[in-house]
A and B are shown apart, each in its own frame.
Chain A
């Protein structure tokens, strides 16, 4: 399946599911609507239906005319390998969110930064990596705390101020 066709299908499916399934369940109509005011689901439904129609047009355009190639620059890795990297990013983001209540924002930030640096393929510059991953979150926490009085969530290392 070519990229333009896949794109058209995804767009149509997203807006169709929103219009047909999500709006009836997650946009409740109040029992009383003042005057002639349109109900709350009117606007999202209009946008979702318009989006679905646009998706069908994108799909039709992809099927009817030969679209130019849409290359994406990469390092030559296989699609599976790139998908694994993306899964790694998603897992790191999820782990960060799960780690904050346990280890605190600063420590979770350190772990996420270190993970991200290593995932970019950076293996040299050890001092800079350590400074950025450990010193960066600490410096930012101190800055925002002193400038705005922000209280970042603390966790296991609460006695140390993190």
Chain B
């Protein structure tokens, strides 16, 4: 059966399950997979998909924190030291976005991510 034939609720449930596994396995919000799934499977417009993904991530990440904390894997001080300045950085970044949105710069950032990725795969 094609996914478009399933009820909306079933499609959202499937997306939620995938998002949860992905998020705790890699320590990421899961937007990189949830946004394309929402656009592809539920035909959400891109902005609604990105926003809805953020709302879902809030729940997913909180659940992941609790599940990892009970296993003693959480380092709350590190999270505060990295996460709190990141909120300030993200707000500043969103404002800078218009001025810094050159293609060359984005490609340079993609290059940086690729270098870190290659380092992790190789190391």
Check if A and B associate: no
Interface residues of A (CB under 8 A from B): none
Residue positions of B touching A, CB distance < 8 A: none
